[in-house]
Structure 1
């Protein structure tokens, strides 16, 4: 059994390699592809359902074909369908009883069809249709959608259409609705009366993003209890204060009031945010906004907020002592222009567990003890911010963060790691210093991180001749060393991985490896995945691994010409080998397989 599996895997890989470098044959383009529970017939210029699709099929992807009209016989043969995708099939007319025989249909996708007529009984047949997408279908009114058989609908997607108002919402059965997507339409007004059908519906997510509103009646959203509400990109014609007046009385878990890059600049006055004293929200998004007069009372009414996203909010300082925001657990300050992490004044956020200052537009000075007040912080992301520790890193800078579980310093400037640089964060489970040039004051910089699970050192000029660099990482499960060149091309340090006995995933791609010691990986008894792609290996060998029963080997994009069949005969049936993009001598290799397996 195992030998046949090896034969299958390698033959399949070779066939894939061959096909990926040749023009697809006509028959390959014309056949529907079998997928889990169904078939994918997308983009085949079909005008009917092919006869080879079995009648018991449950899932059918038929997008980018041509069905200008749907009749009650179009899908008559496919009576077990529960998922049907008809994206961009040029559907103009939907007549009565199209899905008369599909009682189990749950998901219906009609994205991008120029519908001009939908019969009253078009959706009759399914007993409990739950997902209906009519996005980008040029529907101009909610009243154009027949609703008699949509009582169990949970998701209604009408994004990117031409709807001008909420007239007709009252005809929908909203009691089971969980998501209403009305983004990128032409809705410009919302009244109290418009939202009456949603008054007794709890936990629904509504998106109005990208609509150009000019008026929302004050209190229009009063008494609504939503899961989320998205008004991003809706302020090109409407005053921000008027929008918040319309939201007074709302209760929602998440509220998005951000902008798009192409939107006109909006300056939020602090006085406008007083409306939040009458809005209950736990997760608030202000991406790309400008705050007109930011001061210590700006966020006074947000004292119950848990998460605040101020990505690209044009901030350079939060040094004042704030009233409000003391209950925050998540704060996102990505892509701003802070000069020093001390300027965030983290004393305002004593309950913060997640802090992200990624992509800062200026080099970010990481001064000592700036974060010491964040005693319950679990995740800190300073990636892409050219962090400058102003001295040896990182114990002084991370002082007080004893509960930190994740630290991301990737894509930073050059830093000098002091001896035991992470003593201040002994609970770390995930450390990312990829694309960061660092120098060491200690041959074993991670020796105190006994809880670390993942370590990303990719493209960091890590010296792989230092056999003690992984000392102390006894519970490490994933190690990424991509892009760190092996001196001389031959990886021979047999003791390099002895400190990481529970390693499951090892990434050594793009390390300029030409060969490796036969016993190099023998001590890694838990290894399940190893990536040696994009190196300069000339032969495939599996003898250096402890177990071959569940091993995923990636040898793609090397210089492998031939494969010794005997070297992979012991691979278990759950194992795979990727040999794509190698200059294999295919004729000789296939001959070897035939000789050995027939």
Structure 2
């Protein structure tokens, strides 16, 4: 009786081996070369922290005032996060001992007093985050201490003017964020210093811009400009006039989801003719007079984002967008894939039409002009392919590498549905119920280059040995939510077609038993997920090797583990037995003894 009680105690303790024990001395978690002390209501830096700490997350604590002695001992700091610490007062030289500090995050502190020499000390402070800190103007920042800045985040404050922007050094700056402030007017003198930056990401997102001095940004060179949510249908032309002569890789002119309807006419976009841009974001706008004239000035455009732009079709004749490579049309009102008029975009490599709001007809050869297309996403909609899919619908897409058809209505495959797309590497058919003729060959028989296949919750017949035929190059296979016949995997015939498989996910498949040697053809398997099934035992004999493999048996019905089944785990191999009803008695004594000596091999977590 005593021995049984001892077994129960030992095993119940073993269940929590993976959980870190809280320290009574220091309420912080060791992370890499630093500590996470966030969210403990600390009012000072713990004395137990080593002075060599380089990364310190001290967010969500309480430091109403910061003095030059607050961090004096931590001279090796490189990254300091003080998000929402209730900081109101920051005195002189608070960082005088942190010569190596590169990142300082002060988000969410309502700073009442900021001394002129607050940031004196670091020799190369690169990233300064002052979002939601009640900053009203740039005078509060002494630029002499910030000559090495690469990131300056002033988002969500009360800044109304860009005065004193010229006091900063800009040739190192990479990111300048003014989003969600009170900036209404921008003059040429205010931003003149930005002319010396190269590749800057500049954001005015969420400011209600009324006026930009014409050509204020002429000859400036940016990586990205974000004016999302800054305009209405009338002021967008004012913004484009102010940007006349600018060069930028990315220009964002989107609106917020909760914004009032913003109607953009073709005439208001004429200012784009004097802007050099390669990627344009028009998300959630309305185009009442969409025509070829709308796109007249976009000759150099490579990427165009029209997600949720309330479109039913694109103009049939657009003659100047031959360089476009990426087109995003997600969540629009198209009723036919042909309404994209693909012949206008001969260089297109990426096309996304996921989340169509209406039933989307996919007719034969709709995209045949897109011979360069590599990425096609038609997921999360109500795709209607007519009788059979998808050989004729994908006609002309011989170079397609990625195809996503997931979360659509039930369809029927043609005899070889992907005959016209033999180069596919990734195919996602999850949540897509499909049927096919299994009498001749598998539906993927002509896809030798396919590396990842997702067939989760597709109502598959997993007893068909030809299902995976032709997939000799497959590396990752997901079959989650498909039921094996009678809950038993006993035939290795199906898996002989995928000898290079590295990841196999067969969770939630109603599996009750696995036969020996079932996965012996999978000599390269490194991860197998059999979680959320009905297994009563650990079936490691099914695998080719137990060296360097991760086995997930979580959330099954395993009560007793035969130690001989797991003793062969070698190298980096691990087995996850979390949330199984493992019994706390001596029936598991051998497994308990083995687990105590092999704690790095077993993962235990109790149900919450």
**1:535 corresponds to which residue?**
533
CA distance in 2, matches of 1:425, 1:286: 31
**1:439 corresponds to which residue?**
435
Note the aligned Cα RMSD (angstroms). Answer: 1.9
Q: 2:339 aligns with which of 343, 359, 366?
A: 343
Matches within 5 A, 1:534-573: 534-573=532-571
**1:383 corresponds to which residue?**
379
Structure 2 residue matching 1:226: 3-state secondary structure: strand
8 Å CA contact 1:560–1:584 kept in 2: the answer is yes
**2:606 corresponds to which residue?**
none
CA distance in 2, matches of 1:560, 1:193: 72
Q: 1:580 aligns with which of 563, 578, 581?
A: 578
CA distance in 1, matches of 2:497, 2:589: 43
CA 1:257–1:453: 2 relative to 1, 3 Å: same
Runs of 5+ unmatched residues, structure 2: 1-10, 598-608
**2:510 corresponds to which residue?**
512
Corresponding residue pairs, total? 584
Q: Do structure 1's residue 91 and structure 2's residue 87 form an aligned pair?
A: yes
Runs of 5+ unmatched residues, structure 1: 1-9
8 Å CA contact 2:447–2:471 kept in 1: the answer is yes
Shift of 1:167: 1.4
Q: Do structure 1's residue 415 and structure 2's residue 411 form an aligned pair?
A: yes
CA distance in 2, matches of 1:184, 1:554: 45
Q: 1:498 aligns with which of 487, 496, 515?
A: 496
Q: Which runs of 4+ in 1 moved over 6 A?
A: 10-13
**1:6 corresponds to which residue?**
none
**2:605 corresponds to which residue?**
none
Matches within 5 A, 1:276-355: 276-355=272-351
Shift of 1:465: 0.1
**1:451 corresponds to which residue?**
449
CA 1:64–1:29: 2 relative to 1, 3 Å: farther
CA distance in 2, matches of 1:171, 1:588: 74
CA distance in 2, matches of 1:326, 1:200: 33
Shift of 1:354: 0.5
CA 1:492–1:245: 2 relative to 1, 3 Å: same
8 Å CA contact 1:142–1:166 kept in 2: the answer is yes
CA distance in 2, matches of 1:563, 1:150: 61
Shift of 1:594: 5.2
Once the two structures are overlaid, the 10-residue window that deviates more, 232-241 or 522-531, is 232-241
Shift of 1:91: 0.8
8 Å CA contact 1:96–1:121 kept in 2: the answer is yes
Structure 2 residue matching 1:547: 3-state secondary structure: coil
CA 1:299–1:319: 2 relative to 1, 3 Å: closer
Residues 119-158 of structure 1: CA deviation (Å, up to 9, x unaligned): 1221111111111111111111111112211111101111
Q: 2:67 aligns with which of 58, 63, 71?
A: 71
Matches within 5 A, 1:209-248: 209-236=205-232, 239-248=235-244
Once the two structures are overlaid, the 10-residue window that deviates more, 118-127 or 452-461, is 118-127
**1:261 corresponds to which residue?**
257
Q: Do structure 1's residue 186 and structure 2's residue 182 form an aligned pair?
A: yes
Q: 1:274 aligns with which of 264, 270, 276?
A: 270
Structure 2 residue matching 1:460: 3-state secondary structure: coil
Shift of 1:402: 0.5
CA 1:589–1:99: 2 relative to 1, 3 Å: farther
Q: TM-score, normalised by structure 1?
A: 0.94
Structure 2 residue matching 1:258: 3-state secondary structure: coil
Matches within 5 A, 1:131-146: 131-146=127-142
Q: 2:200 aligns with which of 204, 224, 228?
A: 204
CA distance in 2, matches of 1:164, 1:319: 41
**2:603 corresponds to which residue?**
none
